[in-house]
Structure 1
């Protein structure tokens, strides 16, 4: 037994310790299999210093572009003693390559966590990183049953067990077969702009947080809605005044039937124009309502006006379309807006976000990211992006920078 422990310790020392002298394998491309799949499925066991797992299995959702999106996060951990440069990532399903991110194309979708460099695609020894993935397909019939990932890694030196270049097959995961939740829109009327929605890496998608000992992405599909005026502006006049935002106080409506399980309504409004400092974590949602809409799914309506939920109480049954509050500027916010998302648990932080599709809306257009930034910071009118296929939508999810009209007055 002692001999066996020594052999294992020696192996770990070789893997985790300093690199040994280079061998002929220092230019070898090696196909490796992670422990997430049986070693017999792809040949003999191979050391994979960068290991991976999926934060939550993706649930397909149809976006306003007519395509089916699989939006999820891949967590990478460098278990070795050398820096690991992630040179490319491929997502595969049913024998097809669904995503291929290489070089500079990978950088916007990658973020190293914790200590060490936070730029590029390098993980220092012991460091973790996240890759945000948006695999798109033409129709629900094209959704694969499972996904595999190939992570291509470069190391400064080869060792006797690990080459300097490695292609690792990691984190095989099944696609969640549940349908996206179909709901009513939480707002009425024209020109609602999706300010931070799926599926690129906005502040919402980037908010993968360590909560209660787990990495969770409650805001994976969250949308911040602001309303444009007829000239395409978010506000007119002094941006620090709530009265400058014409849509401030818009009715917020229940998206489905269901019971209220949490209400906060007594927090003050923030001053627009800047995010509040020193806000406690439990006040990030501001005045809000959490509604149980059934089957382990919950709706979260945040940043409501103080006092606007006084008639809403825990245990109250709401019907789809019922007014539950007014759009405000409470909590972690720099301008009036409605933050809305669905989640798989009752806590708006300690849960994973799940996708949803609105029963119907009109896609009026999509704006450019640069013009949205100018509209939010300087009051400039937005500029329409070219090539957007506008028109009526049924059972789809608005995407980032979409401008939509919801049924209602």
Structure 2
């Protein structure tokens, strides 16, 4: 069974931060903020020609605390070369406008290319953008504490592109665009979606190679990354294995049939309850999957304050709630299964800013309390052809408790 295809088969190389020299003449930063009202005459910043534009998919990113003790900021930019000359991005520096000479991070060379995606999306081959072409740029930033998270960030592009509206050959340029105010809104605080020990946060946050990170959807006239903070929860048995016996039999997985719980009080928005389990081992025929069935049997909850929770891949006939029902935290919503676009039993959970599991933007959150029992080796997990085998040994009986944190990729956690 393909381990990388538990949900959607897109995986790319992880990227690291590098520092690269900038070339060309830098234009003044381009202001994207609306000036406050004032009795004084309005003044405008000088216009700057920007042949490659950058549009954030999430206008209000918020940093969140992970189990590594750091605060993480995750977002995407859509880059578009608006002119006839081909463009090549040499480097992108993320800056705090109040400290423009001290980049927070800088991507160049292969580190930059590994973060670029076509609109399909698929990994980009290089940092070039053809005339009238677009790319997505995936960005994940890490800060040692909340005080280190800037209030605003901007993006300094060093590139070769048309230097005037009629230009047909690329010239060196540097300019700063795509200013983002970092949201200070409170993070949703959830209770665990499952019970028991040794749940593994597979396909979790936070780097560009994670399959959920690549699950951008073109829905209802826009692009969305509803799954940027999704987790596929899988259960290790007491012997550290996900599956015992034939991996093509869904009931052989340690997590199959586990109760799925409401993470907060809420109202049921939608449910699906009549799709069969897939045979584990491979993803289903894409022709058999539709927008409605991609997540299999599931539940969408309205948690209030514009936040929704999506549960996917439940067992056929196990969903216990109906649209309009009020649910309370910890209530059983259904049972973990293997329906929809999946190749192994697991519970897919993500939060979003709208009721559509695909046509919404993903929202980060924290879980109120859990125990951090260990970590599956990410290198070994990425290299493995399937999920068979032993993934953890000698896990502690009384691991440390964590409160108000987001479980990161391949963390092993206990939900008491």
Ranges in structure 1 where 5+ consecutive residues have no aligned partner:
1-26, 385-389
Cα displacement (A) at 1:65:
0.8
User: Does the alignment pair 1:247 with 2:255?
Assistant: yes
- After superposition, the Cα gap between the structure-2 partners of 1:241 and 1:125, relative to the gap in structure 1 and judged at 3 Å, is same
- After superposition, the Cα gap between the structure-2 partners of 1:332 and 1:109, relative to the gap in structure 1 and judged at 3 Å, is same
Partner Cα separation in structure 2 for residue 190 and residue 359 of structure 1: 16
The SS at the match of 2:292 is: helix
In the alignment, which residue of structure 2 is the partner of 1:9?
Answer: none
Match of 1:44 among 43, 46, 52: 46
Cα displacement (A) at 1:116:
11
Partner Cα separation in structure 2 for residue 200 and residue 116 of structure 1: 15
User: Does the alignment pair 1:54 with 2:56?
Assistant: yes
Moved more, 255-264 or 311-320: 311-320
User: Does the alignment pair 1:284 with 2:298?
Assistant: no
Cα displacement (A) at 1:73:
0.6
- Give the conservation status (yes or no) of the 8 Å contact 1:111–1:121: no
Partner Cα separation in structure 2 for residue 242 and residue 118 of structure 1: 35
Partner Cα separation in structure 2 for residue 116 and residue 249 of structure 1: 34
- After superposition, the Cα gap between the structure-2 partners of 1:29 and 1:159, relative to the gap in structure 1 and judged at 3 Å, is farther
Match of 2:114 among 91, 95, 108: 108
CA RMSD for the aligned pairs? 2.6
In the alignment, which residue of structure 1 is the partner of 2:83?
Answer: 80
Partner Cα separation in structure 2 for residue 115 and residue 393 of structure 1: 35
**TM-score, scaled relative to structure 2:** 0.84
CA offsets 1:209-253 (integer angstroms, 9 cap, x no match): 111111111111010111112332221222111122121111110
The SS at the match of 2:379 is: helix
- Give the conservation status (yes or no) of the 8 Å contact 1:157–1:163: yes
Partner Cα separation in structure 2 for residue 146 and residue 156 of structure 1: 28
**TM-score, scaled relative to structure 1:** 0.85
The SS at the match of 1:379 is: coil
Ranges in structure 2 where 5+ consecutive residues have no aligned partner:
1-22, 36-41, 394-398
Cα displacement (A) at 1:146:
1.4
- Give the conservation status (yes or no) of the 8 Å contact 2:118–2:136: yes
- After superposition, the Cα gap between the structure-2 partners of 1:288 and 1:117, relative to the gap in structure 1 and judged at 3 Å, is closer
Name the one with the larger helix percent: 1
User: Does the alignment pair 1:395 with 2:401?
Assistant: no
- After superposition, the Cα gap between the structure-2 partners of 1:116 and 1:273, relative to the gap in structure 1 and judged at 3 Å, is closer
In the alignment, which residue of structure 2 is the partner of 1:275?
Answer: 283
In the alignment, which residue of structure 1 is the partner of 2:74?
Answer: 71
- Give the conservation status (yes or no) of the 8 Å contact 1:375–1:382: no
Match of 1:293 among 299, 303, 313: 303
Q: Which has the larger radius of gyration?
A: 1
Query: Could you say which structure has the greater relative contact order, defined with CA pairs below 8 angstroms and 6 or more residues apart?
Result: 2
- Give the conservation status (yes or no) of the 8 Å contact 1:184–1:256: yes
Moved more, 155-164 or 174-183: 155-164
CA offsets 1:354-395 (integer angstroms, 9 cap, x no match): 0110001111222223322466616122269xxxxx732110
- After superposition, the Cα gap between the structure-2 partners of 1:157 and 1:76, relative to the gap in structure 1 and judged at 3 Å, is closer
Partner Cα separation in structure 1 for residue 382 and residue 316 of structure 2: 27
The SS at the match of 1:120 is: coil
Moved more, 326-335 or 46-55: 46-55
How many residues were matched structurally? 375
Partner Cα separation in structure 1 for residue 376 and residue 120 of structure 2: 34
